[in-house]
């Protein structure tokens, strides 16, 4: 099997149908399999797949087990030499998958290849980034400080915004919204860390790949449109909580430090979580 496509779905049936329909345009390998892992959506995804994509395999979880664990279920149930891990709100562009696969085939030391990710309006989503440091929770893609002061050095470093993102480049990590991953690298390094329920599992996975001696490469000739909307509407409080819990787990795992520094960092991250929970509660549905 040349390619396994793993998509985790949670209450995203309509987006999932559009995502799967675009696979042929993306140049997916003729010898491919599609595995959809549904986290107890209750939105009729099984019937929709049976009607529109009967060849897709469905793993139906009885509860929401989180993104990392669901991805790992899909990887374990598949056999392709390359695994495309993709969010259901992504639509691959013409030839995108073939371009990413070609890069992996030409560069045997590359574990992960990621595309240029665009917002629906055609603007660039900063999906290729530097590893986070202790300031990143204040200066990440969605933070108020980044929005108010986009030219600050911490946001520029993390988002790599001084680079035009138009050339192939080895980077620290790539957004997990759409990644083509070499099976051999997964077998050697391991799957996603299931301690991350949602968010931060992608940066951790890329970091572990690089620690294992593999490269992680941004390939802008491949493009994907990402219909993300979580930053602009009310979201479940659990999503905000898990995002920040993941930040804490990441820093404890990869940046062991003086206990006082760790406590201070955890406190600031939790304070940020509290502010975001408050702002989210005030948003209209």
Among the listed residues 178, 172, 158, the one whose alpha carbon sits nearest the alpha carbon of residue 117? 178
pLDDT band at 140 (very low <50, low <70, confident <90, very high): low
DSSP 136: T
pLDDT in tens, 202-219: 999 999 999 999 999 999
pLDDT of residue 239: 77
pLDDT at residue 136 in the model: 66
- Residue predicted with more confidence, 234 or 179: 179
Mean pLDDT, rounded, of the chain: 88
Helix (H) or strand (E) holding 12: none
Domains of the chain: 3-126+165-232 (3.90.550.10)
Cα separation, 225 vs 58, whole angstroms: 24
Over the Cα atoms of the chain, what is R_g? 18
pLDDT of residue 61: 97
Q: Which tens digits make up the pLDDT trace of 57-104?
A: 999 999 999 999 999 999 999 999 999 999 999 999 999 999 999 999
41, 145, 272 from 148: Cα distances, Å? 36, 5, 16
Q: Can you give the three-state secondary structure of 168-192, one letter per residue?
A: CEECCEECCCEEEEEHHHHHHHCCC
Distance (Å, whole) CA 285 – CA 279: 12
Tens of pLDDT along 70-82? 999 999 999 999 9
pLDDT over threshold 90, residue 109: yes
Q: How many CB atoms lie within 10 A of CB 102?
A: 16
């Amino acid at each position: 099997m040349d390619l396994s496509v793993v998509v985790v779905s949670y209450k995203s049936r309509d987006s999932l149908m559009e995502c799967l329909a675009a696979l042929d345009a993306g140049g997916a390998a003729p010898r491919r399999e599609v595995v959809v892992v549904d986290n107890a959506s209750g939105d009729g995804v099984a019937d929709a797949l049976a009607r529109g994509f009967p060849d897709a395999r469905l793993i139906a979880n009885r509860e929401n087990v989180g993104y990392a664990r669901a991805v790992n279920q899909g990887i374990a149930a598949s056999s392709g030499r390359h695994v495309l891990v993709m969010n259901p709100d992504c639509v691959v562009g013409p030839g995108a998958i073939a371009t990413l696969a070609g890069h992996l085939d030409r560069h045997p030391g590359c574990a992960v290849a990621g595309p240029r990710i665009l917002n629906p309006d055609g603007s660039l989503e900063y999906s290729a980034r530097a590893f986070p440091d202790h300031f990143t929770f204040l200066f990440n893609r969605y933070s108020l400080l980044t929005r108010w002061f986009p030219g600050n050095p911490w946001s520029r470093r993390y988002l790599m915004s001084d680079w035009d993102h138009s050339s192939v480049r080895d980077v620290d990590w790539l957004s997990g919204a759409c990644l083509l991953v070499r099976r051999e690298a997964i077998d050697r390094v391991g799957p996603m860390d299931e301690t991350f329920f949602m968010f931060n599992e992608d940066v951790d996975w890329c970091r572990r790949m690089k620690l294992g001696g593999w490269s992680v490469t941004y390939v802008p000739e491949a493009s994907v449109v990402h219909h993300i909307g979580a930053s602009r509407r009310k979201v479940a409080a659990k999503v905000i909580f898990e995002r920040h819990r993941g930040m804490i787990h990441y820093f404890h795992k990869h940046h062991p430090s003086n206990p006082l520094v760790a406590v201070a960092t955890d406190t600031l991250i939790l304070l940020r979580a509290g502010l975001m929970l408050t702002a989210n509660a005030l948003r209209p549905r």
